[in-house]
Amino acid sequence: MLVGLNEILKAADEGGYAIPAFNVYNMETVMGVIKAAEELRAPVIMQFYSRLATTGFADYLAPVILKAAEMASVPVCMHLDHGAGYEAAAISLKNGASGIMVDFSKLSLEENIEKPPPQ
């Protein structure tokens, strides 16, 4: 079942456990992560990185992750890992991501503080 990042992290915090996050990049890695999570009866975060979103590959990978999450017996979050900006975040949301992490670490502290939130 697909769940949001906040939901899966809140449950882990309240339950006193950690949730693994795996970068996936094809159907085989998605299937492997789901199989292991189900065998352990553990929630899982499946991540894809920014380049997959901005090159169009997420258009192919996201449906695989979403179908796996739909069929899974454990909570699954589909998460953009270290997105390189708002474009990657928007593309990821369009593709059904239930968690987003935008990384502006290449900017100075001052630029990070001044960075406006997306509208």
Token readout for 98 is: 């239930």
DSSP string, 18-61: ---EEE--SHHHHHHHHHHHHHHT--EEEEEEHHHHHTTTHHHH
Let me know if 81 is a catalytic residue: yes
- Tell me the C-alpha distance between 81 and 96, whole Å: 14
R_g of the chain computed on alpha carbons: 15
Q: Which residues are catalytic?
A: 81
